[in-house]
Amino acid sequence: MTNNSTAILDAAARFRREMGDNLHDKLTEAIYADAGQIAARAVSSGEQSNGVNFGQFFDRLVTSRWFGFPLMILLLTVVFWLTIAGANIPSAMLGELLQGTVYNLLHDFASSLNAPWWLSGFLIDGVYLATAWVVSVMLPPMAIFFPLFTLLEDLGYLPRVAFNLDRLFKRAGAHGKQALTMMMGYGCNAAGVVSTRIIDSPRERLIAIITNNFAICNGRWGTLILIGAIFIGSTAPPALASLIAATSVVAIAILGVIFTLLVSAFLSKTWLKGEASSFSLELPPYRPPQIWQTLYKSIVDRTLIVLKRAVLMAAPAGAVIWLMSNVNIGEASVAAHLVSFLNPFGLLLGLNGVILVAYIVAIPANEIVVPTILMLTLNMAKSGLAQTGVMSGIDDDLQIRQVLTEMGGWTLLTGVNLMLFSLLHNPCSTTIWTIWQETKSLKWTTVATLLPVVLGIAVCFLTASVARLTGLI
Amino acid sequence: MTLDKLKMGRTAVVTGVRNQSTERRRLYDLGITPGTPIENVMPSPLGDPIAYRVRSAVIALRREQAQLIDVEE
Amino acid sequence: MSAHAETLNQCGSCASSCHHTAQLTKLGLKIRNWDYTVALAGNPNTGKSTIFNQLTGLHQHVGNWAGKTVTRAEGAFTLNGKKYKLVDLPGTYSLLSTSVDEEIARDFVLFGQPDVTVIVADATRLERNLNLVLQVLEITDRAVVALNLIDEAERNNLTVDERALARDLGVPVVPMAARRGAGVKELLNAIEMVASGQFSARPHRIKYADERLETAVETLAEQLRVEFDNLPNARWVALRLLEGDENIINAIETRTLGKVKEAGAFPSLVESEAR
């Protein structure tokens, strides 16, 4: 600090003492006084319409003591129910087209060119098929879910959710704005982590960063919706299947909120001690959403961006999976070695080796977990059955279920634990990088990366043990 | 009385904001200045925070913040 | 039809503004060698981002809540042969508190010295929005008020006399219903007028009837001008110093006063812990 700047600050402090401490108040009051006068001259109001009261009525309902939380859960369930019920048929059609017709055409084309087996295998069974999986499995649910979610967002419902949950966040020693960063995390955790910048206190900001991963991101909704539909929904009578599947996804989302609160409370009582600082949250007026714009925005900004990312990741992942499955070390392929190495640990957690390998391959993008699992399961089975072409025939949920249960040996427990693990595992590499960028702290980046995996392993082990002890499986 | 005691649906006038901190600044910047009418619009399902209407915006304040604000009905 | 809708229609049909939009090219993110910088400020939930998207052709998705944009979003457009860079600032109620989003908005308006600052105000909640408008006018006189949501105001039976408002504020006031695209041409027209200096503003300034304050402000402002050359609005900085604004005090101590934080260059947690 130079002498001059010290002099300036000293002079300022002297004037401050002379004039008293409430200058800010006086200035603010002066501005509001002027604002009031100017507004009074410019605005004239006629009779109040009923629109305002409708908004208020609606607000009292969605934040009411008895209906606030049930309505929140109901709304989420309806959104997922529409997604699951609506995505079924287009998913099957896309699957038939991409994994059936186009896949066969590509192979026919390759054999007409006399392409060597490894080249067509690498490109068609590896790169192409992984990409096709991602598109057919993820596109339909996303194209339904994102517009619905964006609609809720544009309507102004999300600040009401933050309002409803604020008390719980306060109890957990977390900043009220953490609920808002969580909402951002439901789109993308990397974006959620960046949005924690709105939290001023470093302590509370770190808590928000570490727990953001418990908000299920775009890349994981697809996995949850699919597994919920084929493992949980199928346990119910057909008429109720979609509803039950939707409920299971909502349950996982709520579990995510519970983990957010528990971990926040834990952190603010241990390494990041402190009281919650206060904040003010505006509940903006409800605005009629613009349906077409919402559709456009959610498809361009969300669905296509997520899909693009998934496809970009799926192509190289497909290549890696194909290579792993076709390059042999000794008797078995690399993939087989890896899977059998991780299998005992996976089974202990109620998962399996394939799932764990898939989660390693999918570190760059959660979107490709299910396609990776399917390809690996098929390749593992294939190496035993020694037949080709099996994998092209899967084009709807029923067949996916068949592949997983018959070839992969999945049970209801595997499905449930995959959903739990989908909630509780390390953030994707983009998010980890973002956490590092935002914290510049190796320690907190490590904590934010490993804490969810450790929790995931513990929770999966617990459910698996309970299921085994009670003889449920 | 303080703002947290104001009943739902009732309007009072701000007479002052206690505490000399950034918290007071924030409340002032939201337009909670002496002489401003403020209405308790609704509580959240768990009773805290409470949403208040002040200068035609609805703003949620936690109880500790509302306790800093003196009002007169 | 109410008075506002008529104004909108009249302006919308007049030849000059049609001419202007004929020249509008939305450049999205392609910014290089711009002629003018335009800052976009406003309270949260006033439709700021809608206007940003209308002008740049980008579709930045922003939800309906406060504090969602934490960094500055940038876009560009050309108008009548000139290139404009448009900077979307975080939505804030004030420029005087201590939160990060307010600091970013304030630093840009003050030190970034935009050629035009567009302040988006919600016509349905004018009094609250005027708080920020008046604060910005304290910093800069190159401003335009975009009086948005005029259609919502009509639905609530509120009539806003934008001419009286423009007279009181001393800067152009453009009534808009940005979601329908109404008023965009007029806004562009006003931005061009202010940017090119064709419109000279006489902005509303708060009067502080206190001689001691006046002396203090002038003394400090003079010292600041000597110490920090190119300080755009020394009086405003002096006032913040008198209020005991910690960010400004900090900036003087570290001699970073006047430097605009780059978008993305956010103080890391390690740094802020050390502070």
| Residue that wins the pLDDT comparison between C32 and A161 | A161
Domains in chain A, number: 1
d(CA C67, CA A178): 12
Q: What was the pLDDT predicted at C68?
A: 44
In order of A100, A243, C49, the CA distances from C146 in angstroms are 55, 46, 12
Given a cut of 70, whether residue A391 has pLDDT beyond it is no
Q: Inspect the interface and report whether the beta carbons of C97 and B55 lie closer than 8 Å.
A: no
The verdict on A204 touching B (C-beta cutoff 8 Å) is no
Q: Which tokens sit at A318?
A: 């497909």
Domain that holds residue A215: 62-469
d(CA C215, CA C211): 6
Domain presence at residue A280: yes
User: Residue A41: which of C164, C206, C207 has the nearest Cβ?
Assistant: C164
> Residue B12 — very low, low, confident or very high, per pLDDT cuts 50/70/90?
very high
The verdict on A166 touching B (C-beta cutoff 8 Å) is yes
Contacts of A462 (CB under 8 A, 6+ apart): none
User: Residue B29: which of C97, C124, C125 has the nearest Cβ?
Assistant: C97
Q: What was the pLDDT predicted at C265?
A: 36
Given a cut of 80, whether residue C28 has pLDDT beyond it is no
Give me the count of residues in chain B. Answer: 73
Q: Are A473 and A409 in contact (CB under 8 A)?
A: no
> Mean pLDDT score of chain C, rounded to an integer?
77
Q: Are residues C124 and C244 in the same domain?
A: no
Instruction: State chain C's maximal CA–CA distance in angstroms.
Output: 60
Bridge-based pairing state of the strands B69-72 and B11-17: antiparallel
Domain presence at residue A18: no
Domain presence at residue A51: no
> Mean pLDDT score of chain A, rounded to an integer?
83
Q: Which residue matches tokens 């690399």?
A: A334
Q: Are residues C85 and C139 in the same domain?
A: yes
d(CA C49, CA C45): 9
Domain presence at residue A8: no
User: Residue B45: which of A69, A283, A285 has the nearest Cβ?
Assistant: A69
Given a cut of 80, whether residue A200 has pLDDT beyond it is no
* Percentage above 70 pLDDT, chain A: 93
Taking contacts as CB-CB distances below 8 angstroms, the residues of chain C near B21 are: none
Q: What was the pLDDT predicted at C117?
A: 95
Domain presence at residue C162: yes
pLDDT in tens, A64-74: 888 889 998 89
CA A8-A13-A15 angle, 5° bins: 95
Q: Give C90: exposed, middle or buried? Use CB within 10 Å, 0-12, 13-18, 19+.
A: buried
d(CA C154, CA C214): 42
| Residue B29 three-state SS | helix
Contacts of C68 (CB under 8 A, 6+ apart): A180, A184, A195, C44, C62, C91
A325, A329, A334, A339: CA torsion to nearest 10: 110
Which helix (H) or strand (E) covers residue B2, if one does? Answer: none
> Residue C71 — very low, low, confident or very high, per pLDDT cuts 50/70/90?
low
User: Residue B30: which of A166, A280, A283 has the nearest Cβ?
Assistant: A280
Q: Are residues C71 and C162 in the same domain?
A: yes
The verdict on C124 touching A (C-beta cutoff 8 Å) is yes
Helix pair angle (A304-326, A334-348), 10° resolution: 110
Domain presence at residue A46: no
Which range scores top for mean pLDDT: A17-31, A75-89, A155-169, C99-113?
A155-169
Q: Inspect the interface and report whether the beta carbons of A63 and B59 lie closer than 8 Å.
A: no
Q: What is the DSSP letter of B37?
A: E
Given a cut of 90, whether residue C57 has pLDDT beyond it is no
In order of A11, C106, C134, C142, the CA distances from C238 in angstroms are 11, 15, 17, 20
Domain presence at residue A319: yes
Given a cut of 80, whether residue C180 has pLDDT beyond it is yes
d(CA C91, CA C94): 9
Q: Are residues C158 and C224 in the same domain?
A: no
Q: Which residue of B has its CA nearest to C44?
A: B57
Give me the count of residues in chain C. Answer: 275
Taking contacts as CB-CB distances below 8 angstroms, the residues of chain C near A16 are: 242, 244
Q: What is the least distance, in Å, from the CA of B70 to any CA of chain A? A: 15
Please name which of C97, C218, B25 lies closest in space to residue A21, comparing C-alpha atoms. Answer: B25
Q: What was the pLDDT predicted at A260?
A: 95
d(CA A382, CA A384): 5
* Percentage above 70 pLDDT, chain C: 75
Q: Are residues C185 and C250 in the same domain?
A: no
Q: Which tokens sit at A141?
A: 């649910």
Q: Are C101 and C70 in contact (CB under 8 A)?
A: yes
> Residue C263 — very low, low, confident or very high, per pLDDT cuts 50/70/90?
very low
Suggest the residue from C45, C93, C100, C158 to mutate for an interface test with chain B (most B CBs closer than 10 A). Answer: C93
Q: Are residues C53 and C160 in the same domain?
A: yes
d(CA C269, CA C262): 17
Suggest the residue from B28, B36, B48, B52 to mutate for an interface test with chain A (most A CBs closer than 10 A). Answer: B28
pLDDT in tens, A8-48: 888 888 888 887 767 878 888 888 889 989 999 998 877 65
Bridge partners, A328 (sequence order):
A333
Class for the domain spanning B3-72: mainly beta
Domain that holds residue C104: 3-195
The verdict on C68 touching A (C-beta cutoff 8 Å) is yes
Q: What was the pLDDT predicted at C262?
A: 46
> Residue A212 — very low, low, confident or very high, per pLDDT cuts 50/70/90?
very high
**What b/e sequence results for A312-340 when a residue is b if at least 16 CB atoms lie within 10 Å of its CB, and e otherwise?**
ebbbebbebbbbbbbeeeeeebebbebbe
Query: Which A residues 62-91 touch B at CB under 8 Å?
Result: 63-65, 68-69
pLDDT in tens, A438-455: 888 899 999 999 999 999
Q: Are residues C28 and C85 in the same domain?
A: yes
In order of A274, A292, A454, the CA distances from A269 in angstroms are 7, 47, 19
Taking contacts as CB-CB distances below 8 angstroms, the residues of chain B near C244 are: none
Q: Which residue matches tokens 């449920």?
A: A472
CB contacts < 8 A (A, B): 83
* Percentage above 90 pLDDT, chain A: 20
Bridge-based pairing state of the strands C116-122 and C36-42: parallel
Q: What is the DSSP letter of B26?
A: H
Average pLDDT over residues C67-94: 78
Taking contacts as CB-CB distances below 8 angstroms, the residues of chain B near A176 are: 49, 62
Q: Which residue matches tokens 């006068």?
A: A37
Domains in chain C, number: 2
> How much is the ipTM here?
0.93
> Residue C269 — very low, low, confident or very high, per pLDDT cuts 50/70/90?
very low
Taking contacts as CB-CB distances below 8 angstroms, the residues of chain A near B59 are: 280-283
Q: Are residues C144 and C252 in the same domain?
A: no
Q: Which residue of B has its CA nearest to A58?
A: B42
Q: Which residue matches tokens 């909108």?
A: C8
Which range scores top for mean pLDDT: A21-30, A97-106, A215-224, B4-13?
B4-13
CA A344-A249-A130 angle, 5° bins: 60
Domain presence at residue C170: yes
Q: What is the CATH number of the domain that holds C97?
A: 3.40.50.300
Given a cut of 80, whether residue A50 has pLDDT beyond it is no
* Of A373-377, C30-34, C86-90, minimum mean pLDDT range: C30-34
* Of A124-133, A174-183, C6-15, C214-223, minimum mean pLDDT range: C6-15
Average pLDDT over residues C128-132: 91
Bridge partners, C85 (sequence order):
C37, C76
Contacts of A328 (CB under 8 A, 6+ apart): A334
pLDDT in tens, A324-354: 888 888 888 888 888 889 999 999 999 999 9
Which helix (H) or strand (E) covers residue B20, if one does? Answer: none
Average pLDDT over residues A359-366: 84
> Residue A192 — very low, low, confident or very high, per pLDDT cuts 50/70/90?
confident
Given a cut of 80, whether residue C6 has pLDDT beyond it is no
DSSP chain C: --HHHHHHHHHHHSHHHHHHHHT-EEEET---S-SEEEEEEE-TTSSHHHHHHHHH-------SSTT---SPEEEEEEETTEEEEEEEPPP-S-SSS--HHHHHHHHHHHHS--SEEEEEEEGGGHHHHHHHHHHHHHH-S-EEEEEE-HHHHHHTTEEE-HHHHHHHHSS-EEE-BGGGTBTHHHHHHHHHHHHTT-S-----------HHHHHHHHHHHHHHHHHSTT-TTHHHHHHHHHHT-HHHHHHHHTT-TTPPPPTT-PPPHHHHHH-
pLDDT in tens, A264-308: 999 998 888 877 676 778 888 887 777 777 777 777 766 777 677
* Percentage above 90 pLDDT, chain C: 25
Q: What was the pLDDT predicted at A90?
A: 85
How far is the first Cα of chain B from the last one, in angstroms, to the nearest whole number?
Answer: 9
Q: Are residues C121 and C159 in the same domain?
A: yes
Q: What was the pLDDT predicted at A213?
A: 94
Residue C184, Cα to own-chain centre: how many angstroms?
Answer: 16
> Residue A386 — very low, low, confident or very high, per pLDDT cuts 50/70/90?
very low
Given a cut of 50, whether residue C18 has pLDDT beyond it is no
d(CA A77, CA A66): 18
Domain presence at residue A189: yes
> Residue C22 — very low, low, confident or very high, per pLDDT cuts 50/70/90?
very low
Please name which of C188, C169, C187, C85 lies closest in space to residue C129, comparing C-alpha atoms. Answer: C169
Q: What was the pLDDT predicted at C183?
A: 92
> Residue C59 — very low, low, confident or very high, per pLDDT cuts 50/70/90?
low
